[in-house]
Structures are given as structure tokens and as C-alpha cells.
Chain A
Amino acid sequence: EVQLVESGGGLVQPGGSLRLSCAASGFTFSSHWMHWVRQTPGKGLVWVSRINSDGSGTSHADSVKGRFTISRDNAKNTLYLQMNSLRAEDTAVYYCVRGGKTVVDYWGQGTLVTVSS
């Protein structure tokens, strides 16, 4: 069974940093592209970042480019999202999502990030 368990969310002040982690199990982690998708409470889904299977290629949404960095450790079956210079508008539930280049399939349960003073 595919399992994706996010951690690292919490309350942070504007301008602060957080690192999210996602522990993967139940599939061959190193064979899959991985994504982060966020959802503002009560609102829609927004794609944030993706990384290819060996970590050599990444892409980020314009809204987070230069502030967020996606990475992975295939030896530890873990995906990361380093978030710097956080803004109030980054407040959301962040989902770790398995997928490929063109589609995402399995989602974790999400971790809430709240940016507020």
C-alpha cells in the first residue's frame, strides 16, 4: 500500500523558514517523480513543485520560485520542501504527492503551514 506521510508543518512568522518532509513507503520511491501541492483552507489546489526520480531536475511554481526548494533522498525514501522567506499567502495544507511528469496519483494526508505574526 502506497503511504506518504508529511511532517514539519506548523506556525511560523512572516519571513521565517520551514522544512517539510515526506516519508514514502509501499512503492519504489526512486522510480517516481514527486510533487508538492498546496491547498488554502477552504479553497482549491495549487501545484507548487516537482522533482524527477533521481533528483536531477526540479521545477517550481512562479509564486514560490527563489524561495522554495524541493529535494529528495532516495536512500531514505524521503521528499523535502525547504521553504524560506515565508509569506502570509503561503499559509496552506501542503500535500506530498507521487506522480510522473504529467499526472499525480497518490496523495499524503497533508501538513498545515501557517504563516502569521
Chain B
Amino acid sequence: QSALTQPASVSGSPGQSITISCTGTSSDVGGYNYVSWYQQHPGKAPKLIISEVSNRPSGVSNRFSGSKSGNTASLTISGLQAEDEADYYCSSFTTSSTLVFGGGTKLTVL
């Protein structure tokens, strides 16, 4: 199972919005509404911020939103804040009944 494709890095200024893409295939992202997004700060464990394409777990800021079109899912962060600077990973359920992750995107808040 090949990793999902994410941009290596994105950046934005405080207050702006950014979008991170996550591209897979019809065997994973395109085949199921089981795309999740995780935030990982340096030296910390990943934290679930979006599940099932667009659902936010309790306690996650509504500045985070998710969507999907075809084989590509997207994470949008609005009103960027310094604390949003982190690595972001997408994942998807697959036709093999396994999970596959993206390569990760480093978000820099300028």
C-alpha cells in the first residue's frame, strides 16, 4: 500500500487560511469516507483533529475543517495561529482493511 501524497510544506501568516491536500486512489481515499487528519507537534504524539472526512472530535477548534473530492481529501485551517505550527498527517481506510498514512506536511506560521 503506497503512502498518500501530501505537500511537504505549507505556510501562512497569522489570521490567514491554508489548505493541505491528501491524494490517494480509489482503493483508499476515493473509496471510503474514512479519511482522518492528525496534528503532531515536535516531540509529541499525533492528535486526531478530523475523522470521517469532516468530523471534528470534541475539543478540537472549529478553525479546522475537512473535505473530500474524488481521490483527494483536504484539511483547511482558518484564522491561523502560532500554535497551529506543526506537522499534519492524513490517513485513510483501504480496500485491504488496513490504514494508510500520508507522508506529512509541515505547516509554518510566518
A interface, CB within 8 angstroms of B: 35, 37, 43-47, 50, 59, 61-62, 95, 101-110
Contact = CB atoms under 8 A, between A and B. Distances in A.
Given A45-B46, A62-B1, A109-B45, A103 B51 contact: yes
- 5 smallest beta-carbon distances between A and B, as pairs: A107-B45, A102-B34, A102-B93, A47-B99, A45-B101
Contact of A102 (B32, B38, B101): B32
Nearest to B101: A45
Contacts, number: 63
Nearest to A99: B99
Contacts of A102: 32, 34, 52, 93, 99
Main secondary structure of the interface of A (DSSP, over half): strand
B93 A101 contact: yes
B82 to A, nearest CB: 23
Contacts of A109: 45
Contact of A35 (B97, B99, B100): B99
A45 B51 contact: no
Nearest to B104: A44
Contacts of A47: 91, 98-101
A49 B91 CA distance: 15
A103 B93 contact: yes
A35 B97 CA distance: 13
Given A103-B51, A104-B48, A44 B97 contact: no
A104 B45 CA distance: 13
Contacts of B12: none
B93 A46 contact: no
Given A45-B91, A47-B99, 5 more contacts: A50-B99, A59-B97, A101-B93, A103-B48, A104-B91
A95 B101 CA distance: 14
A104 B38 CA distance: 10
